[in-house]
């Protein structure tokens, strides 16, 4: 991410507790600061990517002592839901804006500048970072007030890691069925790139039950019919092979309601 920001017209100033990354950035043309405080006094936008809440608070404490007037601090780390709003209130007392701006897209997206960046903060705070963030990602969204970016990242990662867990369940089933797991993985990545994967159903602006006259009622009814059928067959195969598939059973029970559809006669029973 720092390397991408070397293209910013005003240049890149950098600081890290590790010398190796700083040497690399300096060789690429960055100005290296001697501390967080020195950095905060030299820039208009301070991007923070550290490990956890404690480190984020530590960086902000150091930055507030020497911050240039009007400084915007962008927190890219994924932190606890309540942390961004508390830090934004603290920073406001010093005339500093804080936005939470967690990212999604992994090392590949960081290297290619194709990250998704979910920003929570004031309109002024978002405006201060929107242009430089365009160097980092191809999807930059203003999610709402301080903390909204973090809440969006947590919802996104909820899906991410539940999907990973479901993938491990599918792998166990496939392995027991004598299939090549690497080929299965290739098929999954290929088709998800076409359909959008789990995000393919995420087009409505509400999770409320769907009215029968709504366009999505017919679409999701078809999704449920296919899903329940295929899940039933997968569970049948799992039973034959003595493979435990608790997520598949849960999905079979909850797919319709999750899509916003009314319970079937079978579900009522």
Contacts for 131 with CB less than 8 Å, ≥ 6 apart: none
Instruction: Give the pLDDT score at 264.
Output: 74
* Residue 266 among the catalytic residues: no
The two three-digit tokens of residue 80, written as one number: 């606890």
CB 85 within 8 A of CB 57: no
The Cα 66–Cα 196 span in angstroms is 45
> Nearest-CA neighbor of 3 among 18, 22, 17?
22
| H or E stretch covering 136 | none
Domains 2-152 and 203-268 fall in the same CATH topology? no
> Nearest-CA neighbor of 158 among 78, 220, 100?
78
| H or E stretch covering 89 | helix 83-92
Tell me the Cα Rg of the chain.
Answer: 23
Domains of the chain by residue range: 2-152, 203-268
The Cα 259–Cα 214 span in angstroms is 13
The Cα 30–Cα 1 span in angstroms is 13
Q: Which residues of the chain have pLDDT under 50?
A: 268-269
β-strand partners of 139? 116
- Coil/strand/helix, residue 204: coil
Tens digit of pLDDT for each residue in 188-214? 999 999 999 999 999 999 999 999 999
> Nearest-CA neighbor of 124 among 60, 56, 44?
44
Q: What is the CATH number of domain 203-268?
A: 1.10.1040.10
2-152: CATH topology: Rossmann fold (3.40.50)
CB 147 within 8 A of CB 121: no
Q: What is the mean pLDDT of the chain?
A: 95
Burial 236-266 (b: 16+ CB within 10 A, else e): ebbeeeebebebbeebbeebbeebbbeeeee
Output the pTM of the full model. 0.91
Considering the candidates 153, 182, 229, 266, report the single residue annotated as catalytic.
Answer: 153
| H or E stretch covering 227 | helix 215-241
Instruction: Give the pLDDT score at 269.
Output: 45
């Amino acid at each position: 991410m720092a390397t991408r920001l070397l293209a910013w017209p005003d240049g890149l100033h950098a600081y890290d507790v590790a010398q190796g990354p700083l040497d690399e950035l300096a060789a690429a043309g960055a100005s290296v600061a001697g501390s967080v405080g020195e950095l905060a006094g030299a820039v208009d936008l301070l991007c923070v990517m550290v490990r956890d809440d404690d480190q984020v608070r530590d960086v902000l404490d150091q930055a507030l002592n020497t911050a240039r007037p009007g400084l915007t601090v962008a927190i890219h780390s994924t932190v606890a839901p309540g942390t961004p709003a508390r830090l934004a209130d603290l920073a406001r007392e010093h005339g500093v804006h804080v936005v939470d701006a967690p990212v999604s897209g992994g090392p590949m997206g960081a290297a290619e500048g194709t990250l998704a960046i979910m920003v929570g903060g004031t309109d002024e705070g978002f405006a201060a970072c929107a242009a430089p963030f365009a160097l980092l990602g191809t999807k930059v969204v203003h999610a709402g007030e301080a903390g909204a970016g973090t809440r969006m990242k947590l919802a996104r990662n909820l899906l991410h890691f539940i999907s990973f867990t479901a993938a491990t369940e599918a792998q166990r089933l496939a392995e027991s069925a004598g299939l090549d797991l690497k080929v299965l993985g290739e098929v999954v990545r290929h088709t998800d790139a076409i359909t959008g994967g789990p995000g393919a159903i995420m087009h409505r602006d509400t999770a409320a039950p769907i009215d029968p006259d709504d366009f999505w009622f017919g679409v999701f009814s078809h999704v449920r019919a296919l899903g329940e059928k295929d899940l039933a067959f997968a569970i049948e195969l799992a039973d034959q092979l003595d493979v435990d598939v608790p997520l598949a059973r849960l999905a079979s029970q909850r797919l319709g309601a999750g899509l916003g559809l009314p319970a079937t006669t079978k579900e009522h029973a």
